[in-house]
């Protein structure tokens, strides 16, 4: 009896294991489609130049020459690009948090003339794709002599409708009495914002921050138009500058791709929840 029971147990276990393996196996084709390009890029960045065009998926030999080269080659100042991108992405992120918190606060907690019109004006910005205004924006900043600077990469992106909406939604979940009570207690608006609204809207700020940092880090078109000096170049433009003239630069290029993907994937892994919340709020604008 006990033996039969044992036998049956293992049978169901086996069945479950098979079912699990079957379930997982169905994923393999698309898993490969997503992962192979990344693994292959990593492999190419690690092989010797003479192996670049022969590598199938995994490298035969490993060398870190391309990574050393990316950081030490005087004509390809990768460290500079990374620093620039970090400065720009962090500044854009912090500025959006500030401007969006302020604007969302006014829309939710204050009453003023033209509130509806101004809110519609913010809403309308979501209808305009960035690519449709990018030429005129370029001409403006060129006229101002802003090209080839870091501020040209930061200032135009210091706010976004998506940020304002995200924080507005968060503020609207606060109990009404919270603001009323603190006003009666003589708490100024700015103090309410800093000491109550900001701490309570931390999840929304996190979502906004992760999303904006990633988007700015991944930005390509605007930096391409507005910067052509090495000193102000950002990572995405930096990696796409090299051409695949020979195997040597191919490997360097792939090392560059891996280096710029690492921060993006780190945000994806370590701030996954925030990033996905941000994406869901910002998806419409691409």
> Binding to other proteins (CB under 8 A): which residues in 212-271?
214, 217-221, 225, 236-237, 239-240, 243-244, 247, 250, 253-254, 256-257, 260-261, 264-265, 267-268
Nearer to other proteins, 38 or 62 (CB): 38
Residue selected from 48, 87, 94, 138 as contacting other proteins according to rule CB under 8 A:
138
Residue selected from 2, 5, 7, 57 as contacting other proteins according to rule CB under 8 A:
57
Residue selected from 120, 127, 172, 181 as contacting other proteins according to rule CB under 8 A:
127
Task: Give exposure, 171-181, as e/b (b: 16+ Cβ within 10 Å).
Answer: beeeeeeebee
Residue selected from 79, 131, 183, 270 as contacting other proteins according to rule CB under 8 A:
131
- CA distance to 60, 133, 222, 250, 270, per residue, from 154 (Å): 43, 16, 10, 31, 25
Site for other proteins in 180-219 (CB under 8 A): 189, 214, 217-219
Site for other proteins in 87-106 (CB under 8 A): 98-100, 102-103, 105-106
The Cα–Cα gap between 54 and 60 comes to 10
Binding of other proteins by 132 (CB under 8 A)? yes
Binding of other proteins by 34 (CB under 8 A)? yes
Stretch that binds other proteins, among 76-84, 86-94, 200-208, 276-284 (CB under 8 A): 276-284
- Cβ 5 to other proteins shortest distance, Å: 25
Residue selected from 33, 117, 184, 245 as contacting other proteins according to rule CB under 8 A:
33
Binding of other proteins by 82 (CB under 8 A)? no
The Cα–Cα gap between 164 and 124 comes to 13
State residue 177 phi and psi, 5-degree precision. Answer: -65, -25
Nearer to other proteins, 77 or 168 (CB): 168
CA dihedral angle for residue 160, residue 212, residue 109, residue 111, rounded to 10 degrees: -10
The Cα–Cα gap between 104 and 109 comes to 8
The Cα–Cα gap between 92 and 209 comes to 9
Nearer to other proteins, 1 or 245 (CB): 245
């Amino acid at each position: 009896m006990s033996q039969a029971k044992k036998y049956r147990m293992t049978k169901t276990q086996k069945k479950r294991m098979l079912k699990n393996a079957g379930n997982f196996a169905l994923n393999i084709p698309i898993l490969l489609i997503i992962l192979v390009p990344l693994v292959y890029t990593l492999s190419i960045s690690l092989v010797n130049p003479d192996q670049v065009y022969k590598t199938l998926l995994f490298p035969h030999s490993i060398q870190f020459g391309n990574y050393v080269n990316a950081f030490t080659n005087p004509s390809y100042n990768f460290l500079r690009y990374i620093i620039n991108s970090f400065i720009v992405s962090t500044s854009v992120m912090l500025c959006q948090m500030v401007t969006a918190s302020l604007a969302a606060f006014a829309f939710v907690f204050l009453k003023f003339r033209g509130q509806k019109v101004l809110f519609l004006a913010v809403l309308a910005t979501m209808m305009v794709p960035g690519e449709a205004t990018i030429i005129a924006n370029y001409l403006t900043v060129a006229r101002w002599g802003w090209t080839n600077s870091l501020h040209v990469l930061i200032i135009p992106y210091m706010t976004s409708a998506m940020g304002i909406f995200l924080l507005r939604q968060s503020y609207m979940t606060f109990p009404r009495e919270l603001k009323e009570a603190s006003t009666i207690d003589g708490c100024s608006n700015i103090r309410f914002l800093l000491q109550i609204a900001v701490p309570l809207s931390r999840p929304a700020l996190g979502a906004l921050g992760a999303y904006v940092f990633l988007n700015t880090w991944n930005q390509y078109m605007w930096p391409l138009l507005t910067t052509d000096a090495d000193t102000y170049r950002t990572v995405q433009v930096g990696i796409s500058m090299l051409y695949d003239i020979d195997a040597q630069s191919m490997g360097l290029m792939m090392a560059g791709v891996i280096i710029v993907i690492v921060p993006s994937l780190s945000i994806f892994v370590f701030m996954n929840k925030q990033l996905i919340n941000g994406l869901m709020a910002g998806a419409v604008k691409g």
